[in-house]
């Protein structure tokens, strides 16, 4: 590059502007920025209009991709403010009783909640996501002063995960409804949770290294030990199994966990190919949105009230755009650029058909049922669509 600005031919520029990909990208970016708030990035505009740690952290992948760093820092500071003395990050900050929120009652001032809304378990993925986002923010901004200020909090967040290790092998055990798929009675060691746990271990070790912190050797050894154990417990030769609880091995393929393992580089290239081959064999590819699981869970694993109100497919058959976005980036980074483009196009058409980025879909339409309507202005999926476009650059190529 000679430093001169690139002048794009007007016909090419107009063609990009007219493309479905670019329109969907702009819609997703607008949706994401619509959810920016003094607390950080709110999850939605209706019953999810609080700062949910999980949603905020994933949505921030998109915010950082477009250099919206201030709102990411605001959210990180919110989580740090409400972190417990032993390092636990809240599930959300806002209305602590979800039923009241669903009925339209906000909390003023906002308050934290730390256990799942069904009252069963401590939420276990938020700490890992927060640690990883601190790492992404520092890597993006190079703000060493902020790292110096926050590292003790980050270290506490990372090591809090170890309090959820019941058998001392380094991996997290969890109770029912403790992760993102909080309508499924997963229990024990869950692949999704531990993929994030191992990634967070790598992130905190890297931040310690940047500071030449006294704990760097311990943290690096911890990461390598956890990564080895992750593979030892979950890898079945074709993909990472869903969860392991004592002698019970739930061998369903959880798409988000396996795709995140690819994107976060916790599996080898050969293993990544095996995962994609397994997804194809199980019929998980080529859909408008990649299914979250195959085969579907037995109804006995689904939260009973969801079965009673006709929402047993919430994490067991309905489609989530954010999972499809992770598939796009996984394929792109594996070198399957054509597959990534096809997957992104399917998501882009879905967004434009429905004139928005919604929470969850049945077929090609947002869920609209008697007792539940899909959240509009959904930051998590919007942020990851922006992130997928920025990671691949595909929104700047014609989809026509």
The pLDDT value recorded for residue 1 is 39
Burial (Cβ within 10 Å: 0-12, 13-18, ≥19) of residue 300: exposed
User: Rounded to whole angstroms, how far apart are CA atoms 324 and 350?
Assistant: 11
40's tokens: 């950080």
Its CATH class, for the domain covering 10-396, is mainly alpha
Q: What residues does each domain of the chain span?
A: 10-396
pLDDT in tens, the chain (400 residues): 344 444 455 545 555 656 999 999 999 999 999 999 999 999 999 989 999 999 999 999 999 999 999 999 999 999 999 999 999 999 999 988 877 877 888 888 899 999 988 888 999 999 999 999 999 999 999 999 999 999 999 999 999 999 999 999 999 999 999 999 999 999 999 999 999 999 999 999 999 999 999 999 999 999 999 999 999 999 999 999 999 999 999 999 999 999 999 999 999 999 999 999 999 999 999 999 999 999 999 999 999 999 999 999 999 999 999 999 999 999 999 999 999 999 999 999 999 999 999 999 999 999 999 989 999 999 999 999 999 999 999 998 866 4
Phi-psi region of 310 (alpha: psi -120 to 50; beta: other; left: phi over 0): left
The pLDDT value recorded for residue 12 is 52
- Planar angle of CA 73, 194, 126, nearest 5 degrees: 30
């Amino acid at each position: 590059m000679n430093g001169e600005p690139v002048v794009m031919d007007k016909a090419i520029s107009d063609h990009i502007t007219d493309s479905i990909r670019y329109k969907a990208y702009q819609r997703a970016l607008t949706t994401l920025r619509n959810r920016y708030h003094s607390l950080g990035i709110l999850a939605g505009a209706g019953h999810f209009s609080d700062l949910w740690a999980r949603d905020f952290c994933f949505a921030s992948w998109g915010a950082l991709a477009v250099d919206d760093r201030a709102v990411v820092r605001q959210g990180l500071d919110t989580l740090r403010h409400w972190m417990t003395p032993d390092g636990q990050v809240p599930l959300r900050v806002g209305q602590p009783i979800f039923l009241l929120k669903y009925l339209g009652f906000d909390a003023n001032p906002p308050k934290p909640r730390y256990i799942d809304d069904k009252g069963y378990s401590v939420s276990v993925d938020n700490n890992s996501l927060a640690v990883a986002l601190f790492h992404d923010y520092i890597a993006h901004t190079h703000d060493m002063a902020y790292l110096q200020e926050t590292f003790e909090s980050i270290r506490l967040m990372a090591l809090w995960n170890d309090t959820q290790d019941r058998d001392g092998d380094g991996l997290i055990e969890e109770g029912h409804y403790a992760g993102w798929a909080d309508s499924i009675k997963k229990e024990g060691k869950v692949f999704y949770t531990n993929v994030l746990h191992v990634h967070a271990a790598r992130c905190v070790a890297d931040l310690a290294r940047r500071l030449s912190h006294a704990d760097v050797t311990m943290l690096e050894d911890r990461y390598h030990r956890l990564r080895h154990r992750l593979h030892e417990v979950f890898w079945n030769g074709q993909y990472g199994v869903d969860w392991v609880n004592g002698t019970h091995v739930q061998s369903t393929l959880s798409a988000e966990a396996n795709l995140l393992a690819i994107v976060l580089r916790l599996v080898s290239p050969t293993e990544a190919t095996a995962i994609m081959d397994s997804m194809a064999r199980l019929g998980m590819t080529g859909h408008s949105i990649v299914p979250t699981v195959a085969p579907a869970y037995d109804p006995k694993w689904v939260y009973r009230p969801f079965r009673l109100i006709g929402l047993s497919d919430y994490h067991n058959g309905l489609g989530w755009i954010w999972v499809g976005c992770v598939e796009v980036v996984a394929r792109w980074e594996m070198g399957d650029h054509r597959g990534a483009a096809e997957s992104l196009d399917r998501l882009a058409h879905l967004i434009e058909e429905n004139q928005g980025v919604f929470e969850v879909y049945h077929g090609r339409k947002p869920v609209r049922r008697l007792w539940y309507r899909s959240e509009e202005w959904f930051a998590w999926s919007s942020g990851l669509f922006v992130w997928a476009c920025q990671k691949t650059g595909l929104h700047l190529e014609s989809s026509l």
